[in-house]
Chain A
Amino acid sequence: MTTPIATSQTILVVGGGISGMTAALEAAECGKQVILLEKSPTLGGRTALLYRYFPKLCHPVCGLEINLRRLKGNRNVRVMTMAEVSRITGTRGKYTVTINIAPRYVNGNCTACGECARAVSSEIPNPYNYGLDKMKVAYLPHDMAYPLRYVLDPSAIGTADAEQARAACKYDAIDLGMQPETIELTVGAVIWATGWQPYDAAKIQPYGYDRFPNVITSLEFERFTDLRGPTGGKILRPSDGKEAKNIAFIQCAGSRDENHLRHCSRICCMASLKQTQYVREVYGEEGKSTIYYIDIRAIDRFEDFYQKVQNDSTVKFIKSKVARVAQDGNSGDLILHGVDTEGYHRYANNHDLVVLAIGMEPSVKGVDIPAEIIADASGFLESETSGGIFGAGCAASPLDVNRSVQHATAAALRAIQVINKTAGVEI
């Protein structure tokens, strides 16, 4: 890989999800030079793994495609995938960034014909379906992958699979000799858009995510409903593959809890309201969704959507944080225990499937950001001491896609201000 030319007037964007892409494009369309780094082999981040957006229930293909089109048409952005920042030194206007690039083993000749995937036999858990199914060791992350180029998993290197993949490729695109690289770049400002990760559901002991196969997270449910997901869009129970028609959604799974995440993750209420509509889409009047909640936080304009779901006869709302989930031994059904707040009725309700509306943890948490960072009580990035590194999207705050885009645009503007000031000094 050739090292991109970067100067103190370049903006580095770390993270290629919806926030990173937006920040990079907004800055690039203002004429700034941008380098967009992504740790995984493709841009798109978690947005690409959603089935639909709320509240209009359109598909993420739409929003991502617009951004990818903007990206392809813009000469100012340089995209680097499978690249991670390991060190940042310097101060605003002049940072030196060390970047580690993992080998993809597939070069630019790739036409995404898929011959290599057909040639290999080994499989690995598919991270794009949260490990719910498997994929070949030579793979295209997903249909919206950018760059549209296959990847050979490092586990295949040195095996017969790697040789078979290379032999199958007609374009000489597979390069088994690729080595990890470390490069150094000089940039003027950094936008940190590393997004979020779901809270570890197994830590919420009373809900039994680690013990009961039919307790899943909202992100996994998103994949179950997607046509490209592990079940091809059918809502099937992990334990026995039966259709799940009576589904419970537990809100605040990890969020707003001093024992887990202190903050409100903001997206989960809307995500569950949205997912009840998936159930309706699949089963019509036959599907049953029950939302267990403390209070529904459908902020400002989302209230309309909340009201629409409230009027849906297949959706029931129970104002109660579920105390405990138990499994009915033989059937694999789940029994939810608790007391509701509207009348203090004790309940023990049966459901086929339980979806935990899992909370949002910043990806910066636990990750050693190679700069002096000031984070809030939940680990979201607030600012940093050198003055030229800005958080964007879910690295900075729990946000939905729409607000992440707004937040990233704001971050781009702040980075541009730094660059302009630096340029002014140099003139």
Chain B
Amino acid sequence: MNELNIKYHNNFLKEVEENIEEGEWIKMCMQCGVCSGSCPLGPYWAHPPQELFMMIRAGKREQVLRSDSMWMCTSCYNCVVRCPRKLPITQIMHGIAAYANNLGMAPKIQPTRDFSILFWKNCTRTGRVNELRLTLGLYFNDGLVAGIKKGWAMRNIGLGLMRAGRLNLFELFKGHECKDQKGIHAMLKKAAEIEQRHKHLTA
């Protein structure tokens, strides 16, 4: 690989197309900027979608995969609706985020990523989401003191939910679960296998 190739890493677009869901759309972007301007969280992104797409095409692998921008997407689909080329931008954002995560390149402290991991573990364990554990897990993510503080701040809502029969403290020990948990796990394993077959993950 010569110096120019290293600098621009020309294979990155290809890598993205092969490994990221809807990645083959990225070359269709005409850099008009409507997605970036339409994003309600746009001001908080380091790299808006338009810029991410250009960075991918320019081969800026490290910056793209280590960026926390795509983690900021809240799936409002405003960009998808307005994109004059009908790029599935939301899906691509999640695709880049998932790919970066699989490669272990995603930012270590990122609230969206933390929540996603928490949610995934929670829901795949028994096949159903245990809301109480999910909430508490989220509260105590930043340590014991922070968790107690957050819980205290939300106490009235919690009590209200309990009174309405929407929150059961016993769920902490054993929540509602799927009947055929083995089946669920087998399905998830198979899905992961299929995904591996389609996407040739390389770190």
Contact = CB atoms under 8 A, between A and B. Distances in A.
Contact of B51 (A320, A337, A344): A344
A258 B86 contact: yes
A323 B48 contact: no
A340 B47 CA distance: 12
Contact of B37 (A257, A259, A320): A320
A294 B37 contact: no
B143 interface: no
Interface in B39-74: 42-43, 47-48, 50-51
A393 to B, nearest CB: 26
B82 interface: yes
- Per DSSP, chain A at the interface is loop
Interface string A238-272: 00000000000000100011111000000000000
Given A339-B50, A341-B31, A344-B51, A259 B82 contact: yes
Contacts of B146: none
A323 B86 contact: no
Given A294-B30, A341-B31, A258 B36 contact: no
Contact of B33 (A206, A256, A258, A321): A321
Interface in A314-344: 319-324, 337-341, 344
B84 A257 contact: yes
B39 to A, nearest CB: 8
A340 B50 CA distance: 10
Given A256-B84, A339-B50, A344 B36 contact: yes
Which of B36, B47, B48, B84 has the most C-beta atoms of chain A within 10 angstroms of its own C-beta? B84
Interface in B13-53: 30-34, 36-38, 42-43, 47-48, 50-51
A323 B84 contact: no
Contact of B84 (A258, A319, A324, A341): A258
Nearest to B47: A344
A340 B34 CA distance: 9
B85 interface: yes
Given A339-B48, A339-B50, A344-B51, A259 B36 contact: no
Nearest to A204: B82
Which of B32, B47, B84, B86 has the most C-beta atoms of chain A within 10 angstroms of its own C-beta? B32
A120 B32 CA distance: 52
Nearest to A336: B37
A323 B30 contact: no
A56 interface: no
Interface string A346-385: 1000000000000000000000000000000000000000
Nearest to B32: A321
Contacts of B42: 339, 346
A344 B48 contact: yes
Contact of A338 (B34, B83, B84): B34
Given A256-B84, A259-B84, A324 B32 contact: no
A344 B69 CA distance: 14
Nearest to B78: A323
A321 B29 CA distance: 13
A206 B82 contact: yes
Contacts of A252: 32, 84
B26 to A, nearest CB: 16
A143 B37 CA distance: 45
Contacts of A256: 30, 84
A339 B36 contact: yes
A321 B34 contact: yes
19 contacts: A252-B32, A252-B84, A256-B84, A258-B84, A258-B85, A258-B86, A294-B30, A319-B33, A321-B32, A321-B33, A322-B37, A338-B34, A338-B36, A339-B33, A339-B42, A341-B31, A341-B33, A344-B48, A346-B42
A279 B43 CA distance: 33
Given A344-B51, A346-B42, A259 B86 contact: yes
Nearest to A344: B51
A346 to B, nearest CB: 6
Contacts of A322: 34, 37
A251 to B, nearest CB: 10
Contact of B38 (A258, A260, A294, A323): A323
